[in-house]
Every structure is written in C-alpha cells, then in structure tokens.
Amino acid sequence: MAKKQQKGGQREEKKKYNLSSKGPEDDLLGVVSDTEEVDEDESQASDIEDDQSESEVSSDGDPFADDFLRDGDEEGRDDSGLESDESDLEAKSRAIDEAKAIALVEAEEELKLNIKEESDEFRLPTKEELENEAKQPPNLQSLQRRIKEISRVLSNFKSLRQENTSRKEYLEQLKADLCSYYGYNEFLIGSFMEIFPVVELVELLEALEKNRPETLRANTLKTRRRDLAAVLLNRGVNLDAIGKWSKVGLVVYDSQVPIGATPEIMAGHYMRQGASSFLPVMALAPQEKERIVDMAAAPGGKTTYIAALMKNTGIIYANEFKEKRLKSLTANIHRMGVTNTVVCNYDGKELPRILGSKSVDRVLLDAPCSGTGIIWNEPSVKTSKAIEDIRNCAFLQKQLILAAIDLVDANSKSGGFIVYSTCSMMVEENEAVIDYALKKRDVQVVPCGLDFGRPGFIRFREHRFHVSLEKTRRFYPHVNNMDGFFVAKLKKRSNSKLVTTEPSKASEEAGEGMDVENDLNEKTIKVSKMAMKQQNNEASKSSTLSDGKVTIQKKFVNVKQHKFKSVQKNIRKRNSRPAGSNQSNGKEYDKRSLGNAKKKRKFPSREEISQAREEKRKALKKQKV
Amino acid sequence: MRPLDEKETTAVFEKLFKFTGPNLKHIVERPATEGPDDAPGRYCFRLHKNRVYYASESIIRRATNISRDRLVSIGTCIGKYTNSGVFRLTIQSLDLLAAHARHKVWLKPTAELSFLYGNAVLKGGLARITDNTHAGDGVVVYSMADVPLGFGVAARSTQDCRKADANAIVVNHQADVGEYLRNEEEL
C-alpha cells in the first residue's frame, strides 16, 4: 500500500508535469513526437491497469528505486514540496482519473493505427496464392470476403486501389470469385457484369439463389379472388393479395395443404403462375370480341388469362410448337373453362401463312429464350449457356416477332398491338430484337401500361437503340421479387414493310433479313430491291469480308443462296402479276414508282448469276490464302 | 375435322341425355357468344381424331384452315371414341354437364378426396341427392360448396339410397377433376 501511495504521488507529479507540457498536443498523433514521455506514460498506465501490457519500460523490478531515481532526474524539487501537503486519497483518485484519461487516448490512437493498417491490407491474391486455392476445394467464406472487399475497392477505386493494379484485374478476380461462389459459368457472370453495377450484381445473384415466390391467379371465369382467398384460407393456406398492380393475383407464403392439389385447382378456380407472367397479358389488354393469337402458348397460363379478360368472347388461337407441351396446354384450357380457343401445333413463323396476314387484332409473343431470368427455377441455366445459345435465341426471336407483326391488322378497329416478352435479362434477346423489328416493319413502341419496372436500355455498350425503347420494361428478381422479365408493346402503324435504308449496316443483319423474308410468303418489290442492292454491294464487300471469320463467311454463303432464290421468285412473280397490283393498303406511291422504275431493269440470267458467284468465291479463296 | 354423322350423333346425344334429359335441347340451341362476330351463333359438334368437340360456329369456321395434323383442339372436347368404337364422355365436358344437369349429388368434405382419386361414392359420403333420381341416371357430383367435382352413374334411386347401408355404392365413378392431375396424357 505504501508503495502505491508513493507511486501515486510520484505519478501525480509526473503526470502534472507531463500533462502540462503535453497540453496542446493531447490529440492523438502528438504522442509519437515525445518518445520518452510515451514510455513513462505507458509504464505508469501498466502499473495501474494490468490490461495494458505494451510498455517496454519494465518497472516491476525494483519500482521503488526506479521511480525514485527518475523523479530525481527530471522534476524540480519545488513541485514535490508542494504536493506532499495534499491528502493521499485525493491524490490517489486524481492519479487514477488521469491514468484513465491517458489510457483512453492511447486506445483511440491504437485503434486508428489499426484501421489505417487494415485499409491498406486488401491485396489481390498473387498467382501462387491462386494456384494454392485452385488445388483445394473452394473456401466459401474467404471467397465471400474477397467479393465484398473487391466491391468495396471498386466503389472507391481511386483511394482504395492497390498500386499498379488496374480496374480490369480487380474485375477479373471478382468474376472468378463470383463464378465459383455462386456456381455460374464465366459467360453468364460476364454478361451480368455488363448489365449491372457490382453492388447490384451481388444483390441479383443473392436473389436468384432463393426460391421463386409462389403466386396464383384467380380464374375470374369461375370465381372471384376474395371468394377463392376465403376458401384457401380455410384449407390452411397462408396467402395475401399480390399487390396493387393486379386484381387477380395472390401470393402464397406457406401452406398446410399442397397448393397444387386442392379441389379448387382441379376445378379450375385458380392457376399457379409466376407473377411475371401476368405482365404481358396486362400489357396486351385484350378486349371482348377480339381475335387474339398467342404464339407460344404452353403451358397455357397466359392464354387462359387472356380468355378470362375477354370473358370467353372473341377467339384465341393458341399455338405451340413443341408437341410434348400440347397436352398440358389443352388440359389447362379445359380445366379453366375456356371455350373460345383453337389450339394448333405450328411453328410460329408459319402462322401468317396459315391464318392469313393482317387477320388478327392482337398478338402475344412470349418468345422462347435462354431463360436467364428464371435461374431460381432452373439452376442448370447457370452453367449451360454460352454466347451461341443467346445468338440462336435472338435469331429465332427476330423471325418470330416479324411473323407476329405480320399477323396483325394495322387497321383493326380496336387493336393493332403486339406484345413481346421474354424471361431473360440479356440485351441481345430483348432490346436488340425490338430494335430490329422497328427497322423492319412500320411499328412503334407504345407504353406497356405497367407503371413499375425499369425502362429498357437505349444505349448498351456499343449498341445504340431507338429512343422509344425507353417505354419497354425490365423486371428483376432483386427489385420486383419476380422473374427477370422484359415486356415491350408495339403498335402497328400500317401494313407496309420498310426497307433498310442503310446499306452500310452489317451484312449479318441483311443476311438475317433475307432469311426472314424468304420464309414469309409476302413478295414485295422491296425484297428484290434489297437483293439487287446486295448484289451490287457484294463486289465491294467481298474484299472487306476476307477476314477469315467463319460466321461471316457462312452468312455470306447463305445470303448468296437466298438472294438467288429471291431473285428467281421475283422474276416469276413479276411475270405472273399484272403491273400495279399490290396487296398492302398503306401509302404505296413510293413503292409503285419504284416498281415501275424497277421493271425497266433487266435481271441477269441464271447462268450469269452462278458464274458471278463462282468468280467471287474464287476471289475470296485467293484472299484467304 | 368433320361434322358427326347419324350414328355418331345418336351416340353422343344418348350419353348426354342421361345427364340432361329434356334439357338436351338447351345444349344444342344455346346462343353462342364466342367468336369475334357480333351476332351470337350456335354451337356445333365436330369430330377430329376420335374426339368430339363442342364449339360455336364462328370458332369452327375459323379453324377450318388449320390442317388436320396440326389442329389440336377446338372449343371444348366433350368426349372421345375408344378403340372399340364406344363413345365416352370425358371430364372436360364437366362444365357443360354441370350447367344443364338434372340430377346432382353432393358429397361430404371427407368423401371429396376419395372421389377425386377415382373411387366410387359410398353412402357414407353422400350428403344430398336430388329427388327422382333413378338407377342408371347420369349424375353430376358436387362438393358442399357447389363446386362440380365430376360425374357418374347413379347406382341406386333416391329411395334406395336412403335405405342403403353406409358402405354401399351409390354413384359409380365415370370422371372426376382429379384426372387433370392423374391422367393428363389420356385426356
């Protein structure tokens, strides 16, 4: 006790001395400047509180002697004389308070030192570290930590970046980590990274890991939503209305009975349907007594919704390409009590030929797609998609949308609308297809009538789309709690077909256009005009196309073949049809004048065409070699 | 797709008559609101790939340009011809029958599930039955909430049902809505 009292007194003296000298420097970094004082402070602090063990000056061995000596060296004797008069208790308490204050200050300084060290600490793993990681099974926690760290760095890149590492290296590492943490292939993560910023990307991936929310649509042909809700609540289903935006939707939180096997579902009172599937039908807004086509109808959720909105009036053509899905489509139609539907099994591209072009009021095209928006249903999509799949889907979708547009009668009293929707988030399958349709047909994008969801992209990487694409809507799992979805509504202005006035557009598009046009049976003069233009441009293009890319070569060959056929068809058509008889209704003056002008041109004969083709092929081969 | 000939028409109408009796007239002569034409048409029967379809005239007219092998369904399918040439009504005709049925049977909630699995209705599950039902009449089976569950043939008349013991069959099962889940392929 005596020791402590003496120590206390001595410390008090020291502290008074030290504190006064330190006055203005009390904040933080001033500690570093006076190392002697720091040592003393630390030693004092360690004597009082056992926690702080950082003092290097050991005062345990003969502290009595040490302190005494130090005191003697540094402080004046005047001070010691004064303080010996005060009571020991007060001295002790003051000493304790001051020691605590200094301890607090030191703790803060340490914390700040530590933080400073940590913020500099995140470094991208070196190659050796990566190799080591690759050998072991993936450590999910460290992956997750690294993902978070990289997101943080990328959000404040200037200040948090490591020296000599580019943004690209961080993104590459992030991509690899996301692939292994969530189980995606590189292509899909890369595509998502192009669409979403990093933070949103992680949110999206997290949302896709969860289960799709279970939603139902009450069948207004047989029941009302509130009656259905009452019955299901009685059975023990925990449900709620889906939101303000729908009057027929219900969302199921959990259920004591299997929701897919209640007597009500068997009697056709409701249908299990994703929330996103309501949207294209709401955008389509079919009216009573209209003629509607649903080009990809199976399993029939949207078709039956359309019939319910139309109250079984009018007529719906429900088309489905895959035979295996026809059974479920017909079964659903009958179960839900729909009587105004004709089900057929065609390829959507043939429908204008079968049903007649300009024969219906509205068309719904829920196009077959890569399915990147429904990953929570189909986890296999994570690893199975490649750029080729997306491109094939896009090609098919472009053909189908042109067929859909051709089915619609622009002059219909109440209609003239096409709704295009996909359950994918890829720009190539969504905005690019609508943009293509805008270029090929006389249609315009109109608002969908859905007031939520994000507008579609107008600019995306190197693409520039038409401004009206802002009226299309994109839906995401992490924003809207429904499948990743895209909806666009088009209004057909007139029944004429446009010509691409840009010959410099990539030959890809022209090639595709040729394929599309030849499947449809509409022989307009403009098709031949394109053919002639292409033939003329061919000579100039053959040199630019010899880059050796296989795809362009193939399309070049396709283009040639189709051109040949189309030219042949046009020759025959022209011979059979009298002058001036055109099928379309719109302003046709341009066409007619062009047509008359065209007739004066002579088409090369078959032999000449094949000779020209041979020569060009040889020229290409030479350039290749 | 072709209209039914004499024999087929009689076969179909016979089956329907068991359920509807004189109401059969209503089925045939109902004004049809389907189709984009303003004036309501009439309903017709058509035969396509051994199935009989019941649809309004305007729908049928517009389905004629779809080729035979690509046409799957028009309006409502009401029944099919089996391989042995017998016509049977299928479950898809339930809405039509329920709208015009003369004899009805209501099931207790406990017996619903059993009927939906394809079993016959026992006396213990019977809650209500219309009067004047004779054995051999077609009956439509309802749940207590008036939801049609299927149809069948009465095995006993109303009087006999009262006297029967709890395990006796009162309605022989012909079709039920559970088939949409069990038997989708067969429909």
For residue B70, pLDDT beyond 80: yes
Give B-chain residues touching A361 at CB under 8 angstroms: 36
For residue A142, pLDDT beyond 70: yes
B92 closest CA partner among B48, B51, B136: B51
Domain chopping of chain B, boundaries: 2-96, 103-182
**What is the mean predicted confidence (pLDDT) over B102-129?**
93
**Contact by Cβ (8 Å): A488, A456:** yes
pTM: 0.71
Whether residue A327 and residue B184 make contact (CB cut-off 8 A), yes or no, is yes
pLDDT tens, residue by residue, A44-98:
444 444 444 444 444 444 544 444 444 444 444 444 445 555 688 899 999 999 9
* Alpha-carbon gap, residue A609 to A532, rounded angstroms: 12
* A88-92, A118-122, A238-242, A332-336: the lowest-pLDDT one: A118-122
Residue B38, min C-alpha distance to chain A (Å): 8
Give the pLDDT confidence score for residue B15 in this predicted structure. 93
**Contact by Cβ (8 Å): B58, A290:** no
Q: Which residue of B has its CA nearest to A291?
A: B36
Whether residue A334 and residue B36 make contact (CB cut-off 8 A), yes or no, is no
**What is the mean predicted confidence (pLDDT) over A382-395?**
93
For residue A4, pLDDT beyond 50: no
Residue A354, min C-alpha distance to chain B (Å): 7
CA B113, distance to chain mean position in Å, is 20
Residue A224, min C-alpha distance to chain B (Å): 13
**Contact by Cβ (8 Å): A337, A308:** no
Whether residue B73 and residue A231 make contact (CB cut-off 8 A), yes or no, is no
**Contact by Cβ (8 Å): B7, B85:** no
Q: Is A115 on the interface with B (CB under 8 A)?
A: no
* Alpha-carbon gap, residue A189 to A179, rounded angstroms: 7
* Alpha-carbon gap, residue A378 to A136, rounded angstroms: 28
Q: Is A313 on the interface with B (CB under 8 A)?
A: yes
Q: Is B150 on the interface with A (CB under 8 A)?
A: no
Give the pLDDT confidence score for residue A158 in this predicted structure. 82
Q: Is A316 on the interface with B (CB under 8 A)?
A: no
Helix/strand/coil for A585:
coil
Give the pLDDT confidence score for residue A207 in this predicted structure. 93
Active site residues of A: 423
Which ranges constitute the DSSP H helices of chain B? 6-20, 24-29, 57-62, 94-100, 109-116, 158-163, 179-182
* A380-384, A409-413, A508-512, B174-178: the lowest-pLDDT one: A508-512
Best of B1, B96, B147 to mutate (most A CBs within 10 Å, chain A): B147
Best of B66, B71, B110 to mutate (most A CBs within 10 Å, chain A): B66
Task: Please say whether the structural domain B103-182 has been given the CATH code 3.40.1260.10.
Answer: no
Whether residue B33 and residue A312 make contact (CB cut-off 8 A), yes or no, is yes
pLDDT tens, residue by residue, B84-109:
989 999 999 999 999 999 999 999 99
Which one of A145-154, A546-555, A594-603 scores highest in mean pLDDT? Answer: A145-154
**Contact by Cβ (8 Å): A9, A44:** no
Whether residue B34 and residue A267 make contact (CB cut-off 8 A), yes or no, is no
* Alpha-carbon gap, residue A267 to A252, rounded angstroms: 19
Residues in chain A: 625
**What is the mean predicted confidence (pLDDT) over A583-608?**
56
Residue B176, min C-alpha distance to chain A (Å): 9
**What is the mean predicted confidence (pLDDT) over A182-198?**
93
For residue A11, pLDDT beyond 80: no
Task: Tell me what the pLDDT averaged over chain B comes to.
Answer: 92
pLDDT over 70, % of chain A: 69
Which residue from B38, B73, B148 is facing A343, i.e. has the nearest CB? B73
Exposure string of A37-64, with b = 16+ CB inside 10 Å and e = fewer, is bbebbbbbbbbbeeebeebeeebeeebe
Q: Is A335 on the interface with B (CB under 8 A)?
A: yes
Give the pLDDT confidence score for residue A8 in this predicted structure. 46
CA B37, distance to chain mean position in Å, is 28
pLDDT tens, residue by residue, A538-556:
444 444 444 434 444 444 4
Give the pLDDT confidence score for residue A595 in this predicted structure. 44
Give the pLDDT confidence score for residue A155 in this predicted structure. 86
The complex scores an ipTM of 0.95
DSSP letter for each residue of A311-361 = TT-BEEEEE-S-GGGHHHHHHHHHHTT--SEEEE---GGGHHHHH-TT-BS
Angle, helices A507-519/A431-440, rounded to nearest 10 degrees: 70
For residue A536, pLDDT beyond 70: no
- The architecture that CATH gives domain B2-96 is Roll (3.10)
A276 closest CA partner among A491, A490, A479: A479
Whether residue A327 and residue B33 make contact (CB cut-off 8 A), yes or no, is no
Whether residue A331 and residue B184 make contact (CB cut-off 8 A), yes or no, is yes
Give the pLDDT confidence score for residue A72 in this predicted structure. 44
Give the pLDDT confidence score for residue A407 in this predicted structure. 92
Per DSSP, A412 falls in state -
Whether residue B184 and residue A335 make contact (CB cut-off 8 A), yes or no, is no
Quickly state the pLDDT bin for A499 (edges 50, 70, 90): low
Give the pLDDT confidence score for residue A284 in this predicted structure. 95
CA A385, distance to chain mean position in Å, is 15
Residue B85, min C-alpha distance to chain A (Å): 23
Give the pLDDT confidence score for residue A121 in this predicted structure. 62
Whether residue A330 and residue B149 make contact (CB cut-off 8 A), yes or no, is no
Quickly state the pLDDT bin for A601 (edges 50, 70, 90): low
Give A-chain residues touching B74 at CB under 8 angstroms: 342-343
Whether residue A313 and residue B62 make contact (CB cut-off 8 A), yes or no, is no
| Bond preceding residue A197 cis, omega within 30 of 0 | no
Best of B1, B60, B65, B73 to mutate (most A CBs within 10 Å, chain A): B73
Quickly state the pLDDT bin for A604 (edges 50, 70, 90): confident
Q: Which residue has the higher pLDDT, A531 or A175?
A: A175
Q: Which residue of B has its CA nearest to A356?
A: B65
Q: Is B127 on the interface with A (CB under 8 A)?
A: no
Q: Is A230 on the interface with B (CB under 8 A)?
A: no
Give the pLDDT confidence score for residue B77 in this predicted structure. 94
